[in-house]
Structure 1
Amino acid sequence: MKRLLGLKDKRMSFGFKLMISYLVFALTPTAVVGMIAYQSSVHSIKEQTRVNLSGTLEQMRDNIDYKSSEIKRSSDQLFYDLTVQKLLRTYKEGWTSYDSLQNYMLPTLQNIMLRASGKLQVRLYLAEESFPEIYGELDSRNDPLNENNRFDIYHLSRIEDESWYKDLPWQANPDAIEPKVYRGEEYVWSQVENDGEFGNVSMIRRLVDFDKGKTFGILRIMVKVDALLEAADYRKLGDSSTLSVEDSEGKTMRLSGVTDNNFGETAGRQTFTIQDVLPGLGWKIIASLPQSVLEKDARHVRNLTLLVCFISTIVLIAIGIVISRYFSNGVKRVIASLNAFRSGDFGSRMEIHGADEFAQIARAFNKMSKDIDLLIQEVYLANIEKKEAELETLQAQINPHFLYNTLSSISRLAKMGEIDRLHDMVMGLAKFYRLTLNEGKTHIPVTKELEQAITYLEIQKIKHRDRIQVWYDIEPSVYGYETIKIILQPFLENALQHAFFEDEMSLKLMARREGDLIVFGIVDDGVGMSKEQLRQINDPNGVKIGYGVRNVDERIKLQYGQAYGVEFGGGQGIGTSVRITVPAIRIGGRNA
């Protein structure tokens, strides 16, 4: 798509941005409508699923409530039988009590066992210590419900120290229960002792004297959890569902479904969950279905929505490409002209016909380009002329001063009769001025600039005798290149004027090529400059140094650009170094 829109780099073109904006405004309504339709379908399916699950859970709840109520009704036979109550409360040793126990009490308990629809065990814990205990073999390692239905009678003192007994509601908070209004509804379902180990659960019920409201015993009926919660089967909800039953403390009593009895595995799944309360037990039954199951019927709507959106996107992209290319042609022409303008081609003009906005931009740009081209030419020529005038002024300043000092030295040599040195100085002076004039040219070969600097140093060596030591490090690689004239002599003169602080001084003149640069260097061992002075001199906005030195730096930058020029180095007491860089341009104007 980027190739169709003319994108050649990582930046987005105007046409591409135009097409993106068009697609955003065109596709947004389609996406919104599709999303609303999809969400509505999912919501409808969720609501229908919720209704179905609620109905199924209600059936399970009723079945479980029926079983738990059946066990409670079985306990009612014992709980509301006044004869049994009287016997349990007032048992005394003797024939009458023994006969009542054998002929009425025990048959009643046996009848409860026989009427039970499944395996259960009844345990009576009585406060009356004179009542005889009746129980089988006590072994906590065996499941009590593995044996046939039976009942046991124990003294309440056996469990008075057990934590589960102390935690019973009427034991833990006796003040919250009004004994006189007690109607036998106080019972709890809980796993006590070893119930959890064998998968059992107990209904624990308080036996109360209706007349006095006093507890005279505890009734405990044990049943299998699976038998009690047999109706809680996940398959009634679906193969992908999970069904769990939790007690009042949040403990899982039964779990069935895709988790294979590991409910934690469902934590990372997106599920739809509903729950209901089991009234007889006070527990919760929780059903969970994966979100994917709920959305199964919505996939058709989703796929259809995606198909419509995809086709719409393809059509709108095609329309967007045509429209964006139509409108971006003018912008691309403007960009091409601006890029040419930026690269320095001020003669570039836009060719856009018509009377629209792009045509107006083209006419304004063409006029601006023409005006700027003329202005730049005028400013550039003015700067060149200014620097040439400054150079001529510099030469005019250098020539009389240098000529005066040199003639004075020639006069002293003549008086002293040093004819050879006199001859060398006169010849050097003639050569220096011949090289300086250079027929009025601004650009000269590097060899001539070096020759002029060397001639200047030779004259100074004759003048200062042995006080100046000069070394040259000139690489042949600089031959064949050109530079602007008089860029070395001002720094040599500056060093001879300001660097002396002892009777002798050494100077080194260097020239070499570094890649696409010609580098000149001048190093002295004079007084040098501090770090702060060097920082300020090298800072374009810092202090201004001598006129001739500053003139050289500005002329280089004007001719070749800001990347070239003069840079100072060294340190106080160790001398000064000057680095002068110009581009490596061969004689005749061809870059290296």
Structure 2
Amino acid sequence: MNTNFLRRFKLKSRITFFLVLGIVIFTFTIIYFSRVFSEFIIQKYYYKHLKDIHSDIQEGIYLLLTNINLTSVRLLQNQDIYDLLSNTNLSYNEKEKKLTTYLNTMGINDYIGDIVIVTKKGEVFNFNTKVNPSLFITKELLSHIEDRRNLFVWGPIVKDNGNNYIVLGKRYYNFYTGQYLGYLLMLIDENSIAIICNKSKSSDIVSTLVIDQQNKIISHPESKYVGNIIFENWLSDAKKEFSYSLRTINEGQFLVAISKPSENLERLNCKWFIISLLPLSNLKNQLTKINIIIIWLVFFTLILCVVIAIKAASSLTNPIRFLLNRINSIGQTKNVKPYIYKNLHDEIWELELAFEEMTKRISNLVETINHDMEKQRELELIALQSQINPHFLYNTLDAIAWIAKIKKQPEIENIVMALAKFYRISLHRGEKYIRLSDEIELVKNFVAIEKIRFPNKFDIEFEIAPETTDMKILKFTVQPLVENSIKHGILPKKEKGLIVVKSMLVNEDLHIEVSDNGVGFDPSELDNLSKNGKGGYGLKNVDERLKIEYGKEYGLFISSEKNKGTTILIKVKARNE
């Protein structure tokens, strides 16, 4: 709270104000938090909490079935399995042994209890031999799989040695080659679904199970109930994606929340419902916790009222202490920021104004000194940079090139030599203008580097009129255009591209044309493409340099058509000096 406002009033008025404020805060705090906590419990346990649990379970089951589907695709597209099981020269045992070897190398996940392949001849091969295939392979199941063609079909739930498996079947058919081997049956370990349900719920008071459209239990916290039929018509409540109702189960009141199959599960032909049971007795426990919280809240609010009263007395001394701290901060910190005081018209306020005026003067003086020192450092840096001898860079590149030549690394030698020549022209020659032949040489060295970076991506042709080779132009005029053609015209194109650089004399002007057969662009995109891109100077910068040097009638003239290419004309005054 801003104590500056309260300093307009006498001490008695301040203390009275804070006490009243404390009582108001106390009352509204009780009302507000009681409502907030009540809504929180209702939202958490009656809707949001269970809905989030169901969403996590559905997502977990979807990811599980997606991985199983991917495993089936790997199996259906494995040509070795087709060749093996179609080989009439091998015995059944030999086929089964080799098939086991194939599947072992594929790294089948643990949540797939077994993989069974039934051939058109009636031969049955299973991977782990955990479950007797005769327990679930029936004519009805194979006929159902045949009717659904290439879609997955859910089979029965198989119980074996205390374990539960859900059968998932599909025609063993390679849609790439048209080979039809028979049937693929995959046994999903029900425990993997139970693990997903247990991981998703945040407390042990919620019991979650999974059932199908026929009220058959797919997964249950107690595995002995898996495969049983629920005779209560709970699915009649599943009218929305998520719904809940109160039901009496074994003489106990429960909140029963049901989620319909998600769209992702529907796409996988998985019509499973998620059901959670929450005992209402737990909600009563939560209300008890709310009452305890309210009691503590009242206690702490009373303490807050006392603190507020103390705060009222402190408001007299805090402004003086604040001013004293600001005075002490002078010289201890690099920058003292100004503080804006309201017009209170008391003695402390007058002191504050005088202090702030002094602080501003000191800050301005410090800022001026820092600015001068920064300028001095910049000048020292410029002086230091000017002492760097560019010959050191050229000699270093030449040394690297010789080492590459000795080591018989022609690609490294070529790119280093091209880079050395590039810098020798662009940096070592400090004059503002260079001959067109030198600019073309700079472009060739740049292109040599780019061709090593992007082999077989583009070619470049030069059609330089002999009478233009000694003409003087601004340095780095043609190279940025060639760079732009490569990056924005040729590289996005799948096919190999071509860049053509031409020069000619037109009246008293020198024309240089850079064209490519790249992807081009719409005229409406010209402003964006003209700005400084990810490399080079950018078309806009080159155009501005030319206009400043030669006049507004000179510069770059761009024409482009999408998917056909771009042509950029450089128009400058023809000059030999």
Larger Rg: 1
Is the structural similarity TM-score above 0.5?
A: no
- TM-score, with length taken from structure 1: 0.32
- TM-score, with length taken from structure 2: 0.33
